[in-house]
Amino acid sequence: MSKWKGIANTAATAVCLAALALPARAETLTFVSWMKGEPGYGDWWNEVIAKFESEHPGVEVEMTKVERSTYADTMFTMFAGGSPPDIVHLAAFEYQPFADEGWLEDLGPWIERAGLDLNGWAGQETCEWKGQTYCLMLLYTAYIFAYNEQALNEAGVENLPSDWESFLDAARKATRDTDGDGVTDVYGLGLDTTGGTNMMHDMLHFVLDAGGAWTVDGEPAFDSPAVVEALTRWKTLVDEKLTPRDTPSGDLRQLMVEGRLAMRLDGPWIYNILKGAEPEIAENLKLAPSPFSPPVGGTSNVIGMPAELAPEKKELVWEFIATVASAEMQQRFAQLGSSPAPRPGLDYTKEIETIPYFELFAQANDAAAAAGVDRLPKGLEIEFNEVAKVVHREVQGMLIEDRDPAETGQAIQTAVEAILQ
């Protein structure tokens, strides 16, 4: 029995399965996503669904939200229990175990039959797994630097951070108790310390900036000097209480919207989220290039279909995927998501004129791509979610027990090597 199937057999995931059991009628396509309700990308999905339903009278797409922190385990539970959603939405760094289990349809024949040209489609090579095409790439993106200009100015930060030392200095200065009650009112930065892949991505900024990577030539490198340096930086930021503890990425973005977070490294999706702030806060929320080099980036999320699906439903799901891939909806992706779409050949003249940071996002993408950065570590494609759990466990131990970062890196290395055996 695989590790994933073991997860699926636990009582907790059985409860999730029961709670997420979705009705299956011939005219209904079920769709699970963490993006439902999100400004920008959530709005885009609503438009995709509306267009598809308008072109397929009598067919309804039921979209259900699952939080990102539990997404992979929940989806695996649904597949293992024989009730996957009809439309499969996954992160680009987590679809591989599903494909490995034989649960995803090879889209190659569908792509060929439709004559869909994917040459130049950003990040599409990530959807190739063991000689087959299991998905369509929805986004290749890089992280940028979001900041509250007023919070930094009031803290005496004269220039935006441009490296680790200036970043740490800014975080220290901007973390403040503004009313003298002994409680931090504004945090210098927001790091996701709750575990899972989001925490791995937030840590990766420091790994890359230190000249390292999670893996080298496909082999784990968690005990390398660069990763130990990154762990040291992480420990410093958390120990000094410069970031809220146990706060997931979504809540960190909300703190920024509320004016309680001075800095956050995030993807272009944060732009639309920050626009929801009150006017007096929103005017101070700005974006700039990441102070770290190279920036974190890579493939983001994909769409596919289950292998075990009735033929008539497969036809409908493919037509939904084709709608996603259409030039019209890809252009709307750029407009609503405020970032370049994966489809090549689109004209971004209007987006550059109307979206203040569109060129920043494109430049960040180019910088990450030129450095060969991808959030998914080579060699850990199947085990990435398990590795993320190990990293969270050992990093928590480092923080709680005040362990040495080098010892922590070695513990992670040993545990990851055991997973790979």
pLDDT in tens, 241-287: 999 999 999 999 999 999 999 999 999 999 999 999 999 999 999 99
Measured at the alpha carbon of residue 295, what is the angle toward residues 278 and 45, in degrees to the nearest 5? Answer: 55
Task: Give, in order, the Cα–Cα distances in Å from 231 to each of 30, 69, 292, 296.
Answer: 41, 22, 15, 16
Residue 405: asked if its preceding bond is cis (omega within 30°), the reply is: no
Q: What is the pLDDT of residue 10?
A: 43
Q: What is the pLDDT of residue 370?
A: 86
Cα separation, 321 vs 304, in Å, equals 8
Cα separation, 412 vs 415, in Å, equals 5
Q: What pTM does this model have? A: 0.81
Q: What is the pLDDT of residue 5?
A: 44
Q: What is the pLDDT of residue 376?
A: 87
Cα separation, 69 vs 197, in Å, equals 8
Domains of the chain in start order, with CATH, are: 3-141+299-370 (3.40.190.10), 143-297+377-420 (3.40.190.10)
Q: What is the pLDDT of residue 372?
A: 86
Report which residue type is found at 249. S
Cα separation, 220 vs 377, in Å, equals 9
Who contacts 40 (Cβ-Cβ below 8 Å, separation ≥6)?
269, 271, 272, 273, 336, 337, 338
pLDDT tens over the chain, length 421 residues: 444 444 444 433 433 443 344 443 458 999 999 999 999 999 999 999 999 999 999 999 999 999 988 899 999 999 999 999 999 999 998 999 999 999 999 999 999 999 999 998 999 999 999 999 999 999 999 999 999 999 999 999 999 999 999 999 999 999 999 999 999 999 999 999 999 889 999 999 999 999 999 999 999 999 999 999 999 999 999 999 999 999 999 999 999 999 999 999 999 999 999 999 999 999 999 999 999 999 999 899 999 999 999 999 999 999 999 999 999 999 999 999 998 999 999 999 999 999 999 999 999 988 998 888 988 899 999 999 899 999 999 999 999 999 999 999 999 999 999 999 9
Chain centroid to Cα 307, Å, comes to: 25
- Nearest to 65, CA basis, from 46, 92, 93: 46
- Is the Cβ–Cβ distance between 187 and 242 less than 8 Å? yes
